[in-house]
Amino acid sequence: MTTNQNDTEEKIKEAAQRIFLEKGYEGTTIRDIAEAAQINTALTNYYFRSKEKLFWLVYESLLKEAIQSVQAILDKPIPMEEKLMGLIDHMFETQAANPNLSMFLMNECRRDPKSFAEKTGVGCHLLEGGFIQQFQEEVEKGTVTNVSAEHMLPLIFGLIQQIFVGRELHMHLFQVDESEFLTFAREQKRIIKDMLCTYLFKK
């Protein structure tokens, strides 16, 4: 009748992810997580041994998911323009659904770069796929403006991220609520797509 093992473990993991995303590692206490998961404080240590182990479980999961979903798009066998627009749409929706994700990943990377490099070990697999090659091919074909993919890809990531990274700042500076911000964000996305296409895919 009551909760079984997996139930409690999952409840803690979900609550931990929510609170860590909102407040970061240092801003989050075990008691915050326990309260959010409606369980006893000691249970987090019973199931995950330590706050740090629980954190890295959440962190790696989020990072891996983010990277894999982007990788899947970058490796699609479709034209560059369609691919980049798809990438922008995907990142936009991802971050609209979870506005804290970008800031969280970048903050925690900055807080403990060493552990980040060690534990993720992701390297730059993102660029090891066929994306760079495809980009350069289309540059040589003349269908894409002559810039390096290594500079363009982070720029595109940043273009979408910046919308949501400045979310709270924007909402409070301009006194708008979440739905108004989302309208603003979608118009920004449209402009970004427009600008990027104008620059990269001159016709």
**Positive or negative, the Cα torsion across 68, 69, 74, 77?**
positive
Say how many C-beta atoms besides its own lie within 10 A of residue 169's C-beta.
9
- Tell me which of its own copies, DNA, none is bound by residue 2, counting a contact when its beta carbon lies within the kind-specific cut-off of 5 to 8 angstroms: DNA
Q: Which is nearer to DNA, 1 or 124 (CB)?
A: 1
Q: Should residue 123 be labelled a site residue for its own copies when binding is judged by CB under 8 A?
A: yes
Stretches 18-26, 36-44, 68-76, 80-88: which one binds its own copies (CB under 8 A)?
18-26
Is residue 54 packed enough to be buried (19+ CB in 10 Å), middle (13-18) or exposed (0-12)? buried
Helix, strand, or coil (residue 168): helix
Which of 36, 43, 176, 192 is close enough to bind DNA by CB under 7 A?
A: 43
Name the token pair of 94: 């991802």
CA–CA separation, 95 and 160 (whole Å) = 9
Q: What is the amino acid identity at position 53?
A: K
Which residues have a Cβ under 8 Å from the Cβ of 160 and sit 6 or more positions away? 88, 91, 92, 95, 189, 192
- Show the binding pattern over residues 41-80: x = contacts its own copies (CB under 8 A), - = does not: ----------------------------------------
> Cβ of residue 55: shortest distance to DNA, in angstroms?
9
CA 37 from chain center: how many Å? Answer: 24
- Tell me which of its own copies, DNA, none is bound by residue 97, counting a contact when its beta carbon lies within the kind-specific cut-off of 5 to 8 angstroms: none
Which residues are at the interface with DNA (CB under 7 A)?
A: 1-5, 7-8, 28-31, 39-46, 49-52
| Site residues (vs its own copies, CB under 8 A) | 23-24, 26-27, 103, 105-107, 109-111, 113, 116-117, 122-124, 126, 147-148, 151-152, 154-155, 157-159, 161-163, 165-166, 168-175, 184, 187-188, 191-192, 194-196, 198-199
